[in-house]
Amino acid sequence: RLFRFDPEQSTASYSVKEELAGKKMSTAVGTTSAVSGDVVVDGTDASASVLGTVVVDVHQMRSDNALRDARLQTAYLESHEYPLAEFTPDTVDGLPKEPVADKWYPVTVSGRLKVHGLTEPSTWKGKVRLQGDELEVKIDVSRRRKKT
């Protein structure tokens, strides 16, 4: 059974601690609903389900500050040249063979994350549940940027 990410209900976001003159000021948060991807759930063995490539249009990320957004897009993400972040999963661990409806299952998804033209191994932790005709997925991804 194919499930497709719904942009009305899907988001990708970032949070970053801002500093001014070396002092921590606040935490900035930016979000986009420009997220796409597919999940194929095997009806006879959910543990054999497949997550396709997840794509986020980072050029669409918006926070509460247009100047911050412009700086992020040009100085760090260079989203005019690298507009997409892509996660290509290799393994999904934690799904049972026969899931119970409305029950959350912890999962670990390992694969390759491509951001700013660079691809690195990445592991995501989260949870999933089948609720009626919807598959609900909550994943938290942490990436640290080295100070320059």
Q: What residue type is assigned to position 36 of the chain? A: S
Measured CA distances, 3 to 34, 45, 134 (Å): 17, 16, 8
Region at 142 (left for phi over 0; alpha for psi -120 to 50; beta for the rest): beta
The pLDDT tens digits of the residues spanning 11-45 come to 998 888 877 777 777 888 999 999 999 999 888 89
Instruction: State the greatest distance between any 2 C-alpha atoms of the chain, in Å, as a whole number.
Output: 57
Higher model confidence: residue 75 or residue 55? 55
Are β-strands 118-131 and 134-140 bridged in parallel, bridged antiparallel, or unpaired? antiparallel
Spatial separation of the C-alpha atoms in residues 136 and 54, rounded to whole Å? 15
The pLDDT tens digits of the residues spanning 81-103 come to 999 999 999 999 999 998 888 99
Spatial separation of the C-alpha atoms in residues 101 and 108, rounded to whole Å? 20
Spatial separation of the C-alpha atoms in residues 108 and 133, rounded to whole Å? 23
The pLDDT tens digits of the residues spanning 99-133 come to 888 999 999 999 999 998 999 999 999 999 988 88
In this prediction, residue 133 carries a pLDDT of: 87
Spatial separation of the C-alpha atoms in residues 104 and 98, rounded to whole Å? 13
- At 109, list the tokens: 């998804």
